[in-house]
Amino acid sequence: MVVAMFERLERSVACARSLAAQTIDLAEIIFVDDGSEDGTPEAVEAVAAASKIPMRVVRNPRNLGANASRNRGVSLASAPLIAFLDSDCEAAPDWLERLVEPFESDPRLGAGSGLVEDACVGNIWELAFSGTHRLPRPGPCSRITSCNLCVRRSLMPSGAWDETRPTRSDGGRPDIAISARCDEEGLNLAIRAAGWGVEAIPTARVRHFHPYSRRSLLRQAWFGGCSAAEIVYRYRLGPRRDLGPIALAWLFVGLVLVLGPFTTWWLALLPVAMAALAVTAIAGNELLNKGKTVGRLIRASPALVVYYHVRLAGFLFRRWQLRLGGAGLDRVDPTRLAIGLPSPPEPGP
């Protein structure tokens, strides 16, 4: 398995210790340090030295980004299944056992993601973000999450993790307070395009320790919106369903303001109706998909309103930039991502 890590010494050590306590044997755990300067690799090496499970730490020559670190880990791994865990997560003792079970019974399963439980919910900003990595129900799903994932090794050729969008493009120090790059989307599309199954495996649980403040959540929202626009542009995908209702509501507000005195009473009510639709869609997403309780949804609602609007602004801004110049991103037909990948075995009788 592969763990990409950068800084977060205490969290990385806790992650390593949770892996050392797994209920099944692991062939090897590869920690790829991405240029930490706080002693993280040395601390994890100390855990590795005391572990019965083979662990090793490799170091990038400089900060290359999470996906480049994952690609390096994959290049060093040899097991037929490769699991991925983020360094700010702690795995339940039976996490890996539960994560690999479906692969043993389903030869057509290409990737599976477990349940991510957010441990930091101490303020409304953390409550607002909670559940973002959660897959809503067990079985076939349309996405994966990189912080709790297992993939067949045969489906990850060299460079399987998209490295076209690094953490920082200006060479500055990465901001570990946010994680908003849609790191796994290209891999997910490639696996599905090749005909393999993708499943949510909620019995494979990890706890995610990622604190948020107002500033870091708003940065998360902005860069998450920008990243979503890049994904839509790069892979020629459809509109983002999570942002559509809000965008339509503001579109109708603008329409009413432009028409002014020519607006009839029923047309003036359209923004209200669209706003109600947006609230309903967001509430449904937070309750059904992200697993919030009604109480937590109500408490987080002020932060959620801000979060979705900032995310929409980031999406529209980046979309506009990409339409003007493409910003060096090559466009790819999702069906071509499957080139070179093996096909799944034919289903049994």
Please name every residue paired with 83 in a beta bridge, in sequence order, or none if there are none: 150
Residue 176 pLDDT > 50, yes or no? no
pLDDT at 298: 94
pLDDT at residue 329 greater than cutoff 80? no
Q: What is the CA radius of gyration of the chain?
A: 21
CB 119 within 8 Å of CB 156: no
Other beta carbons within 10 angstroms of residue 19's beta carbon come to 26
Q: Which amino acid is at 291?
A: G
CA dihedral 193, 91, 219, 273 (to 10 degrees): 70
Q: What is the mean pLDDT of residues 88-105?
A: 96
pLDDT-wise least confident of 137-141, 175-179, 195-199? 175-179
Strand (E) or helix (H) holding 57: strand 55-59
How far is the CA of 120 from the CAs of 49, 85, 185, 220, 288, in angstroms?
A: 30, 18, 25, 15, 20
Question: 2-221 adopts what CATH topology?
Answer: Spore Coat Polysaccharide Biosynthesis Protein SpsA; Chain A (3.90.550)
Alpha helices by DSSP H, the chain:
9-20, 40-50, 66-76, 95-105, 124-129, 185-193, 214-234, 244-259, 265-268, 270-284, 294-325
Q: What is the pLDDT of residues 211-242, one digit of tens each?
A: 899 999 999 999 888 888 888 888 888 776 66
pLDDT of residue 43: 96
Torsion-angle region of residue 247: left (phi > 0), alpha (psi -120 to 50) or beta? alpha
Backbone phi, then psi, for 89, in 5-degree steps? -115, 150
Q: What's the pLDDT score for residue 248?
A: 62
CA distance 147 to 15: 12
User: Is residue 253 over pLDDT 80?
Assistant: no
For the chain, domain boundaries: 2-221, 244-327
This prediction has a pTM of: 0.86
